[in-house]
């Protein structure tokens, strides 16, 4: 041991100051870390993406463009490799086989909740989704599914229609109260999130919840949104204003849902097929435990948040791609006329089922822009990767990126061309497994097209999304013709939020069809 005084004496005699010493130490740490990576490679573990800065690892290259990161490393290592991101070891498994490995991994081996709870629980609240044992989540998905039936969807289409029209009339992004306006310019990154939350809350949560979005709920959900970010995924309780506002908003929104629940009970108003009523009536787990009002409230937040970001991003991407393709907009308009009649009466759920081009447009949008680029699981026990010599050590994450095969020319010809008609032939070639797996586990994960995931965590919102997006897009096609800004192409993706969004400007210029035909 060297005493403090002796140490000071030594430093005094050194030819460099303390600042330089720290710099030298850091350089040494970086070099030793680099040397360790080059010299000690464990042949039993997947290859590791080289990184300079300890702990931080490949965070920046992954975070800025995950698809480029996956593609570059697939060229170097093949479908399986590990990268370091902010202290975590994340093993990527690409391709349909990788999808199957991650998404159909045994529940006893991996868990989603251990990874996602950091970012979801502070926003949704306690006791639901990733803040409860997995068997509870499975039953919550089953409860929610009973509000997502064909009979419910039939009532949702007219409700969505009404909300969209009301929004167009009011919003300064459209008519701003002046229904004689015949053209305008709309920022879709403002309009689509608003349209999405109004239509989702009206259908899934009822009239009185929807009404709250004209008052306090819009701002509160905005605060929840700003606490639902990759930053909070990495640092869940980072002490910044966005985090404090998130926590305050969660309590207020949850309390408000509980008031709505009590109100409905008092009035015996439980006949609408919305999610809130379904949970009030059927929210009893198999072991006899009833969901508490708090849990029902928090599940409302979770499901609305889930539907919100994904659906708003998808309608935005679809409208942008349509803005770049006049022939496609025209064909979609003709489909409306053919299916519904030339007088275009109110849209119905049955109409939507008879519009293959519309549904293929949604399908194609999700192929090029699946909202979630990374699906992760925490590894609880050492895991052998089938068909490889590698073992993923306990404590790692495994990551599936279903979006990678979706833009791989091996599976989709001219993958970067937006072409809804590719699905007319492809439907016979690729098995599109869209089986409901809220309670059962299918083996449908070895597919190159999985925008809704697979396995026990598969999305339950697919059908709702098709109804919501199909209705909103139909209404746009009927009412407007539109283009991108002059000289503009479909924007590049921006990966800095929880879902893959278009970067700015995500704007369209529209004219009204009726007024066009009148002139
Ligand atoms: C610091 C760039 O930015 O260098 F919502 F009921 C509700 C979604 C989980 C996304 C994880 C990490 C990005 C780091 C960038 C419900 C409908 C759901 C499904 C590094 C320098 C939520 C985590 C995003 C990692 C990207 C979890 C959603 N259907 N909704 N460095 O979803 O389902 C729900 C489910 C996730 C992520 C990331 C970085 C049920 C940087 C710069 C910076 N990601 N991300 N949902 N990074 N940098 C949902 C699944 C559940």
Segments making up each domain of the chain, as ranges: 119-348+456-518
Instruction: Identify the three-state secondary structure at position 442.
Output: coil
Asked if residue 111 has its Cβ within 6 Å of ligand 1, the reply is no
For residues 454 and 405, is the Cβ–Cβ distance under 8 A?
A: no
Which atom of ligand 1 approaches the CA of 452 most closely? Answer: 29
Contacts of 476 (CB under 8 A, 6+ apart): 319, 322, 482
Asked if residue 305 has its Cβ within 6 Å of ligand 1, the reply is yes
Asked if residue 116 has its Cβ within 6 Å of ligand 1, the reply is yes
Please give the radius of gyration of the chain, using alpha carbons only, rounded to the nearest integer: 25
Asked if residue 459 has its Cβ within 6 Å of ligand 1, the reply is yes
- 256/271 Cα distance (integer angstroms): 20
DSSP 109: T
Contacts of 193 (CB under 8 A, 6+ apart): 308, 312
> For the stretch 195-224, what's the b/e string if a residue is b when 16 or more beta carbons lie within 10 angstroms of its beta carbon?
bbbbbbbbbbbbeebbebbeeebeebbebb
C-alpha 503 – ligand 1 centre gap (Å):
17
Ligand 1: residue of 63, 66, 232, 238 to mutate (most ligand atoms within 8 A of CB) is 63
Ligand 1: residue of 83, 299, 498 to mutate (most ligand atoms within 8 A of CB) is 498
- 46/110 Cα distance (integer angstroms): 17
CA atoms within 13 A on the CB side of 76: 14
CA atoms within 13 A on the CB side of 416: 4
Asked if residue 505 has its Cβ within 6 Å of ligand 1, the reply is no
Question: In this structure, which residue's CA is closest to atom 25 in ligand 1?
Answer: 230
Provide the 10 A C-beta neighbour count for residue 5. Answer: 8
C-alpha 341 – ligand 1 centre gap (Å):
43
Ligand 1: residue of 233, 402, 503 to mutate (most ligand atoms within 8 A of CB) is 233
pTM: 0.93
For residues 210 and 164, is the Cβ–Cβ distance under 8 A?
A: no
C-alpha 500 – ligand 1 centre gap (Å):
9
Asked if residue 156 has its Cβ within 6 Å of ligand 1, the reply is no
Q: pLDDT tens digits for the chain (519 residues)? A: 445 565 566 555 667 788 999 999 999 999 999 998 888 888 899 999 999 999 999 999 999 999 999 999 999 999 999 999 999 999 999 999 999 999 999 999 999 999 999 999 999 999 999 999 999 999 999 999 988 999 999 999 999 999 999 999 999 999 999 999 999 999 999 999 999 999 999 999 999 999 999 888 999 999 999 999 999 999 999 999 999 999 999 999 999 999 999 999 998 878 888 999 999 988 999 999 999 999 999 999 999 999 999 999 999 999 999 999 999 999 999 999 999 999 999 999 999 999 999 999 999 999 999 999 999 999 999 999 988 889 999 999 999 999 999 999 999 999 999 999 999 976 645 444 444 333 333 456 888 999 999 999 999 999 999 999 999 999 999 999 999 999 999 999 999 999 999 999 999 999 999 754 544
Ligand 1: residue of 49, 120, 300, 313 to mutate (most ligand atoms within 8 A of CB) is 120
C-alpha 485 – ligand 1 centre gap (Å):
30
Q: How many residues does the chain have?
A: 519
68 Rama sector, left if φ>0, alpha if ψ -120 to 50, beta otherwise = alpha
Secondary structure of 183-202 in the HEC alphabet?
EEEEEHHHHHHHHHHHHHHH
Instruction: Identify the three-state secondary structure at position 487.
Output: coil
Instruction: Identify the three-state secondary structure at position 58.
Output: coil
Ligand 1: residue of 103, 144, 230 to mutate (most ligand atoms within 8 A of CB) is 230
Please give the biggest Cα pair distance in the chain: 93
pLDDT score, position 303: 97
| Residue 421 tokens, joined | 């008609």
Asked if residue 306 has its Cβ within 6 Å of ligand 1, the reply is yes
Write the burial class of residue 469 (CB in 10 Å: 0-12 exposed, 13-18 middle, 19+ buried).
buried
Q: What angle do CA 26, 27, 33 make, to 5 degrees?
A: 90
Kindly state which CATH superfamily the domain 119-348+456-518 is placed in.
Cytochrome P450 (1.10.630.10)
Secondary structure of 167-235 in the HEC alphabet?
HHHHCCCCCCCCCCCCEEEEEHHHHHHHHHHHHHHHHHHCHHHHHHCCCHHHHHHHHHHCCCCHHHHHC
Question: In this structure, which residue's CA is closest to atom 45 in ligand 1?
Answer: 230
Q: What angle do CA 362, 365, 367 make, to 5 degrees?
A: 110
The candidate with the shortest Cα–Cα distance to 144, out of 328, 293, 277, 320, is: 277
Ligand 1: residue of 59, 366, 503 to mutate (most ligand atoms within 8 A of CB) is 59
Whether the upstream peptide bond of residue 505 has omega within 30° of 0, thus cis, is yes
Asked if residue 64 has its Cβ within 6 Å of ligand 1, the reply is yes
Secondary structure of 138-166 in the HEC alphabet?
HHHHHHHHCCCCHHHHHHHHHHHHHHHHH
pLDDT score, position 435: 44
Which atom of ligand 1 approaches the CA of 129 most closely? Answer: 6
Question: In this structure, which residue's CA is closest to atom 38 in ligand 1?
Answer: 230
Asked if residue 59 has its Cβ within 6 Å of ligand 1, the reply is yes
- 175/495 Cα distance (integer angstroms): 31
- 317/191 Cα distance (integer angstroms): 13
For residues 320 and 490, is the Cβ–Cβ distance under 8 A?
A: yes
- 441/456 Cα distance (integer angstroms): 5
For residues 325 and 489, is the Cβ–Cβ distance under 8 A?
A: no
Asked if residue 60 has its Cβ within 6 Å of ligand 1, the reply is yes
Question: In this structure, which residue's CA is closest to atom 28 in ligand 1?
Answer: 306
- 132/139 Cα distance (integer angstroms): 11
Question: In this structure, which residue's CA is closest to atom 8 in ligand 1?
Answer: 498
């Amino acid at each position: 041991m060297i005493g403090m005084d002796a140490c000071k004496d030594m430093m005094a005699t050194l030819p460099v100051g303390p600042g330089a010493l720290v710099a030298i130490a850091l350089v040494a740490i970086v070099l030793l870390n680099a040397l360790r990576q080059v010299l000690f490679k464990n042949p039993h573990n997947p290859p590791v993406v080289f990184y300079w800065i300890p702990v931080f690892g490949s965070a920046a290259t992954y975070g800025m463009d995950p698809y480029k990161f996956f593609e570059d490393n697939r060229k170097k290592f093949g479908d399986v490799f590990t990268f370091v991101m902010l202290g975590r070891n994340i093993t990527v498994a690409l391709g349909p086989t990788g999808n199957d490995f991650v998404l159909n991994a045994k529940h006893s081996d991996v868990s989603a909740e251990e990874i996602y709870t950091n970012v979801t629980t502070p926003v949704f609240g306690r006791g639901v989704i990733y803040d409860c044992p997995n068997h509870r989540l499975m039953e919550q998905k089953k409860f929610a599914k009973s509000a997502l039936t064909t009979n419910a969807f039939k009532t949702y289409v007219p409700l969505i229609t009404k909300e969209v029209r009301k929004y167009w009339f009011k919003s300064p992004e459209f008519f701003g109260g002046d229904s004689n306006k015949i053209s305008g310019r709309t920022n879709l990154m403002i309009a689509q999130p608003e349209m999405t939350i109004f239509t989702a809350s009206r259908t899934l949560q009822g009239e009185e919840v929807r009404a709250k979005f004209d008052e306090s709920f819009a701002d509160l959900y905005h605060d929840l949104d700003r606490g639902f970010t990759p930053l909070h995924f990495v640092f869940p309780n980072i002490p910044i204003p966005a985090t404090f506002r998130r926590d305050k908003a969660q309590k207020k929104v949850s309390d408000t849902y509980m008031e709505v629940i009590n109100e409905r009970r008092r009035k015996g108003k439980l006949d609408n097929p919305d999610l809130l009523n379904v949970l009030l009536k059927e929210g009893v787990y198999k072991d006899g435990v009833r969901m508490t009002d708090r849990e029902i409230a928090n599940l409302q937040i979770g499901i609305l948040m889930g539907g919100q970001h994904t659906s708003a991003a998808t309608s935005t991407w679809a409208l942008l791609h349509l803005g770049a393709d006049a022939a496609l907009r025209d064909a979609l308009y003709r489909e409306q006329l053919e299916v519904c009649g030339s007088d275009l009466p109110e849209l119905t759920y049955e109409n939507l089922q008879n519009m293959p081009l519309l549904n293929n447009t949604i399908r194609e949008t999700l192929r090029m822009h699946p909202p979630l680029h990374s699906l992760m699981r925490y590894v609880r026990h050492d895991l052998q990767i089938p068909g490889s010599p590698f073992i993923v050590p306990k404590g790692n994450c495994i990551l599936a990126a279903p979006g990678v095969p979706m833009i791989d020319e091996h599976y989709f010809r001219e993958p970067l061309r937006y072409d809804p008609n590719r699905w007319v032939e492809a439907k016979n070639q690729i098995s599109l497994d869209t089986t409901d797996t809220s309670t059962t586990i299918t083996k449908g994960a070895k597919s190159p097209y999985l925008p809704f995931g697979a396995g026990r965590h598969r999305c339950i919102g697919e059908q709702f999304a098709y109804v919501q997006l199909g209705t909103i897009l139909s209404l746009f096609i009927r009412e407007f013709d539109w283009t991108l800004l002059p000289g503009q192409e479909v924007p590049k993706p921006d990966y800095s939020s929880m879902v893959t969004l278009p970067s700015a400007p995500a704007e369209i210029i529209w004219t009204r069809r009726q007024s066009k035909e009148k002139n």
